[in-house]
Amino acid sequence: MKRILPVCIVMMTAFNVFSQTAPAQPKLVVGVVVDQMAYEFLYRYSEEYTENGFKRLLREGYSCENTHYSYIPTYTGPGHASIYTGSVPAVNGIVSNDWYDENTGQFVYVTQDNTVTPVGAVAGNQQSPRNMLTTTVTDMLQLSNQQESKVIGIALKDRGAILPAGHTADAAYWYDGAANAWVTSSYYMPTLPTWVQNFNAQKPAEQMMNRYWNLLLPPTSYKSATADSVSWETVYIGEASPKFPHYMNFTGNSEAIKGTPFGNTLTANFAKAAIENEGLGKDNVTDFLCVSFSSTDYVGHAYGPHSVEIMDTYLRLDRDLADLLMYLDTKVGKGNYVLFLTADHGVSPTPQYMESLNIPAGTTTEVMMTDTMNDILHAAFGPGEWIKAYTNQQIYLNDSLLLAKGKTKKEIFSALYEPLLKINGVAYVILINELGQATLNSNIKELVINGIYPKRCGDIQILYEPYWFEAYRPTGTTHGSHFSYDTHVPLIFFGWKVKPGALYRDVQVTDIAPTI
């Protein structure tokens, strides 16, 4: 937990220059999370960004250029929880997007809550922030003023809306493709507000689909991206090749908007509707709007961070951000709101692309790893379900079988250790209980420890080499590792009382909540 305190002091110094005209507190705080936005996206497409989106944030805001995640796995649920709680999974309990529960023998989805009912959503879409053990900065705002603030979370992804808005939120809305609507949970309210019903009644997603996704700019503007149709890109549903123009087929596939840049536009439009209809930033009690742009993640997974598709998605997000900032200037007033922009994790370059450049990279699969581990354990200890689950690169051992057969976790670990290290791409195999003694670089060790909440985690951790991961499909890419391409994210503060500037020393994502 190094460096947290000094960074906060530096940040306070940076913000302690009070302007004469600004109100004593901002009318609105806007948290913007761009899902899967690696740091380099702030600059890689600079030439094609407008002056009023990312460039405006950098020009008028305060940018912490070396902001990193301090735990693994660098996934969406833990990322949003870390940003808003100022803590790591070891403290907030959000150890992944889903984990195995040894008591029930079931996998738990990060925001799954069977005690609540869906509101506007299809059956089974039951969500709340209850699995998050700590308070968020949004909770602390509500605790400071008897819940007089309005706090709303918005994202296409449920977890991207629910975790940021916290336990005391007025609402979290996410997009349910099956319902073709923005939806919520009985955790917050019994029925959707009229303005949300009206918004949904316009069928805004459908209006953006059933047409071609064309390049925003002339093809010559995409010099920062690789060729369009390469073998590691995922083919969009119903298409012959992963190539522009992409036909966005919505019919019978209403989730599809998520995997296009227009999912971000839909999110921005819904956020503006929330500001308007909920009167966010209208009175003198500070409100908090948490917006997470999920489409960058879907597009990034499918085509990779060097693709034309992801470049086009960022160019369009830049325009959406410029528009949102302008809207906030008009509706809430320039200087009356403070905004931060960051990401929930970065992304790995596509392994096949790296291999094409002779850079070591590759993939395994969860199934291949599980089969290998079962084979090893059956050969060593005989038949039986020695492994209850393998997920998030963690092995959950069968405690009752170990007890019945008189085996220790260390014996199982010893049997697995050498054979697993022989698998291409595997760098480390670690017995989590003995992490302290593991021969492991201290920075990596700290990231692993920060990600462990014992009740929800497994017994053995596997770490991969750079640009290696367990792929869930043969094309595209993912994130989750301790490498800087996954941990290094943008962080910009902008607006109310923020002086333009930049900080180049190390900052951790857990610094965001206390700074806000």
Catalogue the active-site residues: 76
Q: Which residues, at least 6 apart from 418, have a Cβ–Cβ distance to it below 8 Å?
A: none
- Nearest approach in angstroms of CB 343 to Zn ion is 8
Q: Which stretch binds Zn ion (CB under 5 A): 76-84, 105-113, 130-138, 394-402?
A: 76-84
Given candidates 67, 70, 76, 234, which one binds Zn ion under the rule CB under 5 A? 76
Classify residue 506 as exposed, middle or buried by CB count within 10 Å of its CB (0-12, 13-18, 19+).
Answer: middle
- Nearest approach in angstroms of CB 372 to Zn ion is 25
**490: contact with Zn ion by CB under 5 A:** no
Q: Which stretch binds Zn ion (CB under 5 A): 129-137, 279-287, 342-350, 457-465?
A: 342-350
**180: contact with Zn ion by CB under 5 A:** no
Q: Which residues, at least 6 apart from 257, have a Cβ–Cβ distance to it below 8 Å?
A: 175, 177, 205, 208, 209, 248, 250, 263, 266, 295
Is residue 55 within a helix (H) or strand (E), and if so which, with residue range?
helix 54-60
Q: Are 488 and 507 in contact (CB under 8 A)?
A: no
For every residue of 216-251, which 3-state class applies, written as one string?
Answer: CCCHHHCCCCCCCCCCCCCCCCCCCCCCCCEEECCC
Q: Considering the complex, state which of residue 36 and residue 200 has its C-beta at the smaller distance from Zn ion.
A: 36
**318: contact with Zn ion by CB under 5 A:** no
Total number of residues that touch Zn ion (CB under 5 A): 7
- Strands 362-364 vs 468-470: parallel, antiparallel or unpaired: parallel
Q: Are 171 and 189 in contact (CB under 8 A)?
A: yes
Angle, in degrees to the nearest 10, between helices 262-278 and 308-328:
10
- Nearest approach in angstroms of CB 355 to Zn ion is 18
- Nearest approach in angstroms of CB 293 to Zn ion is 10
Q: Considering the complex, state which of residue 228 and residue 446 has its C-beta at the smaller distance from Zn ion.
A: 228
Q: Considering the complex, state which of residue 96 and residue 336 has its C-beta at the smaller distance from Zn ion.
A: 96
Given candidates 129, 166, 242, 261, which one binds Zn ion under the rule CB under 5 A? 242
* CA pair distance 89, 7, nearest whole angstrom: 21
Given candidates 176, 233, 312, 511, which one binds Zn ion under the rule CB under 5 A? 233
Q: Which residues, at least 6 apart from 160, have a Cβ–Cβ distance to it below 8 Å?
A: 33, 35, 76, 80, 153, 174, 292, 294, 344
- CB atoms inside a 10 Å sphere around CB 326: 13
User: For residue 357, which amino acid is it?
Assistant: L
Closest-approach residue to Zn ion (CB): 76
Q: Are 290 and 166 in contact (CB under 8 A)?
A: no
Q: Considering the complex, state which of residue 27 and residue 246 has its C-beta at the smaller distance from Zn ion.
A: 246
- Nearest approach in angstroms of CB 139 to Zn ion is 22
Token reading at 316? 């369009």
- Nearest approach in angstroms of CB 132 to Zn ion is 16
Q: Considering the complex, state which of residue 35 and residue 287 has its C-beta at the smaller distance from Zn ion.
A: 35
Given candidates 102, 139, 278, 297, which one binds Zn ion under the rule CB under 5 A? 297
**313: contact with Zn ion by CB under 5 A:** no
**158: contact with Zn ion by CB under 5 A:** no
User: For residue 461, what are the β-bridge partners?
Assistant: 394, 430
Q: If you search the block for the tokens 């200037």, which residue do you land on? A: 329
- 3-class DSSP state of 337: strand
Q: Which stretch binds Zn ion (CB under 5 A): 194-202, 221-229, 326-334, 435-443?
A: 221-229
Q: Considering the complex, state which of residue 35 and residue 139 has its C-beta at the smaller distance from Zn ion.
A: 35
For every residue of 460-508, which 3-state class applies, written as one string?
Answer: EEEEECCCEEECCCCCCCCCCCCCHHHHEECEEEEECCCCCEEEEEEEE
Q: Considering the complex, state which of residue 150 and residue 157 has its C-beta at the smaller distance from Zn ion.
A: 157
Given candidates 113, 176, 344, 470, which one binds Zn ion under the rule CB under 5 A? 344
**352: contact with Zn ion by CB under 5 A:** no
Given candidates 60, 101, 228, 366, which one binds Zn ion under the rule CB under 5 A? 228
- Nearest approach in angstroms of CB 344 to Zn ion is 4
**234: contact with Zn ion by CB under 5 A:** no
Question: Site map for Zn ion, 101-130, x if CB under 5 A?
Answer: ------------------------------
Q: Considering the complex, state which of residue 102 and residue 158 has its C-beta at the smaller distance from Zn ion.
A: 158
**470: contact with Zn ion by CB under 5 A:** no
* CA pair distance 172, 163, nearest whole angstrom: 9
- Nearest approach in angstroms of CB 196 to Zn ion is 24
User: For residue 452, which amino acid is it?
Assistant: I
Question: Site map for Zn ion, 1-40, x if CB under 5 A?
Answer: ----------------------------------x-----
Is residue 265 within a helix (H) or strand (E), and if so which, with residue range?
helix 262-278
- Nearest approach in angstroms of CB 79 to Zn ion is 6
Q: Considering the complex, state which of residue 86 and residue 305 has its C-beta at the smaller distance from Zn ion.
A: 305
**320: contact with Zn ion by CB under 5 A:** no
Q: Give how far the C-alpha of residue 374 lies from the chain's centroid of Cα atoms, to the nearest Å.
A: 32
Among 315, 186, 331, 339, smallest CA distance to 244 is for 315
Q: Which residues, at least 6 apart from 373, have a Cβ–Cβ distance to it below 8 Å?
A: 387, 390, 395, 416, 420
Q: Considering the complex, state which of residue 242 and residue 425 has its C-beta at the smaller distance from Zn ion.
A: 242
- Nearest approach in angstroms of CB 236 to Zn ion is 9
**61: contact with Zn ion by CB under 5 A:** no
Residues forming the site for Zn ion (CB under 5 A): 35, 76, 228, 233, 242, 297, 344
